[in-house]
Structure 1
């Protein structure tokens, strides 16, 4: 158990460095500029979640994935709707409910955003072996899952 606090002390500065590098590199700002739309992080998060899922989702599901409350997502969706980036569609399992899906314009903007992010990571990791990338993916996934499970126990 004593190795864990030491690991945390070693890991936390690296996570802070990564966060700082992303901020200094203005990655979000560059990626947003590529969309051609003046979007804020929460709105881009909604688009990103819909893009990754590649299927319409309920407001509550988007909120859960963003770790926010539903009204926050509702406001973001309303703004995205007014820009023609998302639309509401009937839920095939419950005609009273609505799902949110990307419009073609929303898909195109999100793909431009993702291309910048993917390009940056691909360039930064271009010297990494496939095995190193797989190890990072495996360990980062495990860390997120274990921390999420532990934090859920505290709730």
Structure 2
């Protein structure tokens, strides 16, 4: 059995997962953009925004942890809406990268501003030291858990 601290933490992690994953947070933030995008399309824009540079389809897919053809279809849809564009890869003139257009950046920034605003409100009463420690430990936990699960996948 897991140690008591982890056992008491589990319901809180599950609740956080539901709040973020089942749409309360993401769906409300997407609605605030007035873009009419669905969650997968917003995920592509989010990945591009966080990268701060154009990416290949395969890199977007890897960051989203989905198959490349799925991302290709998503990119085609948001490209028709003029939220992304294809640009020449400076490393390989034959290849194309996906880049946010100014409109795509605006949509993504509204999305991020909404989410980050809610996070700031939730953490407003926390001392700076607690916020910093929370950020450090959350990143560490997410990285360590993802790495552990990747090892389990390799064993299968």
Same fold flag (TM > 0.5): yes
The 2-side partners of 1:5 and 1:69 are apart by 36
Identify which of structures 1 and 2 has the higher relative contact order when contacts are C-alpha pairs closer than 8 Å and 6+ apart.
1
The 1-side partners of 2:22 and 2:45 are apart by 24
The 1-side partners of 2:150 and 2:22 are apart by 32
How many residues are treated as equivalent by the alignment?
153
Secondary structure of the 1:151 match is helix
1:42 is aligned to 40
Secondary structure of the 2:53 match is coil
The 2-side partners of 1:127 and 1:136 are apart by 13
2:4 is aligned to 6
- 1:16 deviation in Å? 1.6
- 1:42 deviation in Å? 0.7
The 2-side partners of 1:20 and 1:146 are apart by 21
Residue correspondence of structure 1 range 25-64 to structure 2 within 5 A: 26-64=24-62
Secondary structure of the 2:82 match is coil
The 1-side partners of 2:64 and 2:82 are apart by 21
Secondary structure of the 1:29 match is helix
Secondary structure of the 1:101 match is strand
- 1:22 deviation in Å? 4.4
1:133 is aligned to 131
- 1:24 deviation in Å? 8.3
Residue correspondence of structure 1 range 1-155 to structure 2 within 5 A: 4-22=2-20, 26-154=24-152, 155=154
| Preserved contact between residue 27 and residue 39 of structure 2 (Cα < 8 Å) | no
